[in-house]
Amino acid sequence: MKTIWALACVVIKELYRRKDFYVLFVLTALITIAAGSANFFNDSSIGRYLKDICLLLIWLSTLIIAVVTTARQIPAEKENRTIFPLLAKPVSRLELVIGKFLGCWIATGLALLVFYTFFVIVTGARSHEWQFGAYFKAIGLQWMMLGVIVAMTMLGSVVFSAVSATATICLIVVGGILFIGEHLVKIAIRQAEPLNTILYAIYFCIPHLELFDVRQQLVNNQTMPGILDCGLAGLYAATYIAVILVLTWLRFRRSSLNT
C-alpha cells in the first residue's frame, strides 16, 4: 500500500507542477466572470445561465485534465526509461497501474474541488443560493465519473502507442457516451436484427457516464438524487473502475516496456 501511495503522490505533485490545470482554471474563471458581467434587461438577479456556463466549463476542464494527465503517465515513464528503475524497486506492474490510477484520480479530485469552490463563490455571490448538500452530491458523482474516465484512459494508454491517440480516442468515446449512451436503447428499439442486439449489448456494456451528470438539477434548483441512489451510482462506478483496471493490468503485464 505504501508503494501505491508513493506512486500516487508523485502523480499528484506532477499536476501542480504542470501548467494544464492553471490554464484551464484561469480560462474558466475569465469566461465565467465575463458571462457574469453581462447585463440582461438590467436584472442582476438572473443567475441560472451563469451556473450553467460555469458548470459546463468545469465539466470540460476536469475532463481534459483527467484524460491528458492519465494518458501520459505510463507512456512518459516508458519514453524516459524511468519505468525500469521503478519496476526494479521492486514495484509490481499491478501496483504501478493502481498507483498511477489513484494519483490521477486524486489529482482530478483536487482540481474538481478548486473548480467547485470557485463555482460556489460565484453563484453564491450572484444568486445568494448556498445549496451545499446539492453541491456535495454533484462533486461526489462527478468525481466517481472521473474515476471511470481515468481508468478508461489508463487502459487506452497501454493499448495505444501515442499519448495524443489515447487522449483523442478517450475524449471521443467519453463524449459519445455522454451524448448518446442513455439513448442507445431508444435507437435499438427502432432497429432490425442484428443491429438491435448489437446496440442492446453496447448499451448494457458501456459505463453510463451520463448518469453522473446532475447539472440540470443544480442549474434549475431541482431535487437531487437521494443518498442511497448516489451510493449505488458510486458502486456502479467502482465496479467499472475495477473491471477496467484489471483489463489494464492484464494488458500491461504482457506488454513490452521498450517504446
Partner 1 sequence: MKQLSPKLVLGLLATVALTLATIVELRASKWKDAARQGGALAKVLGEGRRLFANQFITMADVYLHSGYYPSIFDQANSKASKAIVTGDEDEGHDEHGHEGHHHDEGVSDQKDEHEKAMDFMGKPNNWLDAFIRRFRITEHTHLENGQEREVLPWLKIAIELDPQKIETYTATAYWLSQKLGRVQDAEQVLREGIRNNPNNPELLFEMGVIEYKNKHDVVKARGLWLLALRRWNEQSDEAKEESPNILDRIAVNLGRLEEGEGHFPEAISYYELAMKVAPSPEALQKNVNDLKARMRDASLAPRKPAE
Interface residues toward partner 1, by CB under 8 A: 38, 40-43, 45-49, 141, 180, 182-183, 185-187, 189, 203-204, 208, 210-214, 216-217, 219-222, 225-226, 229, 232-233, 236
Q: Quote the least distance from Cβ 229 to partner 1, whole Å.
A: 5
In the bound state with partner 1, the residue whose beta carbon lies nearer, of 220 and 259, is 220
Q: What does the alpha-carbon distance between residue 129 and residue 114 come to, in Å, rounded to a whole number?
A: 19
Q: Quote the least distance from Cβ 24 to partner 1, whole Å.
A: 22
Structural contact between residues 182 and 213, judged by C-beta atoms closer than 8 angstroms: no
Structural contact between residues 166 and 71, judged by C-beta atoms closer than 8 angstroms: yes
Amino acid identity for residue 65 in this structure: I
170 closest CA partner among 199, 148, 203, 143: 148
Q: Quote the least distance from Cβ 191 to partner 1, whole Å.
A: 13
In the bound state with partner 1, the residue whose beta carbon lies nearer, of 95 and 213, is 213
Q: Quote the least distance from Cβ 35 to partner 1, whole Å.
A: 9
In the bound state with partner 1, the residue whose beta carbon lies nearer, of 26 and 235, is 235
SS3 content of the chain, % helix, strand, coil (to 5): 80, 0, 20
Q: What sign has the CA pseudo-torsion 152, 157, 163, 164?
A: negative
In the bound state with partner 1, the residue whose beta carbon lies nearer, of 43 and 193, is 43
